[in-house]
Amino acid sequence: MEVVIVPDAKEGGELIAEAMAALLRRKPDALLGVATGSTPLPIYEALANKVAAGAVDASRARICQLDEYVGLPAGHPESYRSVVLREVVAPLGLGADSFMGPDGAAEDLQAACDAYDRALAEAGGVDLQLLGIGTDGHIGFNEPCSSLASRTRIKTLTQRTREDNARFFDSLDEVPHHVITQGIGTILEARHLVLLATGEGKADAVAQTVEGPVSALVPASALQLHPHATVVVDEAAASELK
């Protein structure tokens, strides 16, 4: 695992956007796995700026989602499909056909999970998967105690994660209890994992991920098992590293 400490979130976003641009120059139809939440927004902004400046052609890029809420009505602005279309797909000038994600509104949710794992494999696998990290060490929505071999499946959010995400909704009551998330085993199949963590609130989770033992109690520690994992942290998120 490679750990890169940057001064702030903007620099982290710039660094990772450049890695994504370099990948797209090598492989124009790369499958880019994206995360939602606040942390990756500087990455998406920096990548869109590069595309607008003509520094990279993203017109053949393919985008896939890491996770999705269960039970939000179609088109809800905080469904991760809506977020990814708004924050990633549209700014890169891509169409909805370049994008795939799990169906959180499916009647048979487990079938939708299995179909998503198959779709990722049929698309040739994820070339670069962006990850954020929860304050409890989750990646995707693999909360502590998730199996390190898990596949895409339905998970129940912890109260702490629902409280962390309540800022995107009008009230805590509106935050869904369930999600579909790529499993840790699914995530580990991506060819390159890039985790960005910013802010002091992530410092403990980062220290456990990077310096602690590999443990299902800290799902992000599974990155230690991956042959090509990069953890980019700002100085605040690095503050508890030894």
14 vs 143, which CB is nearer to ligand F6R?
143
Q: One of 103, 136, 164, 234 is an active-site residue; which one?
A: 136
* 211 tagged catalytic: no
* 136 tagged catalytic: yes
* 108 tagged catalytic: no
Which of these segments, 11-19, 31-39, 50-58, 88-96, binds ligand F6R (CB under 6 A)? 31-39
* Residue 223: DSSP 8-state: G
Instruction: Mention every residue, 6+ apart, whose C-beta is less than 8 A from residue 162.
Output: 172, 175, 177
* 8 tagged catalytic: no
56 vs 146, which CB is nearer to ligand F6R?
146
Nearest-angstrom CA–CA distance, 214 and 217:
9
CB count within 10 Å of CB 16 equals: 25
* Chosen residue from 66, 175, 205, 216 binding ligand F6R by CB under 6 A: 66
Per DSSP, the three-state class of 148 is coil
Per DSSP, the three-state class of 33 is strand
Query: In the window 141-170, what residues touch ligand F6R (CB under 6 A)?
Result: 141
- DSSP notation for 83-122: HHIIIIITTTT--GGGEE---TT-SSHHHHHHHHHHHHHH
56 vs 233, which CB is nearer to ligand F6R?
233
Decide: is 183 part of the binding site for ligand F6R (CB under 6 A).
no
User: Could you list the residues that contact ligand F6R (CB under 6 A)?
Assistant: 35-39, 66-67, 132-134, 138-141
Q: Which residues are catalytic?
A: 67, 136, 138, 143
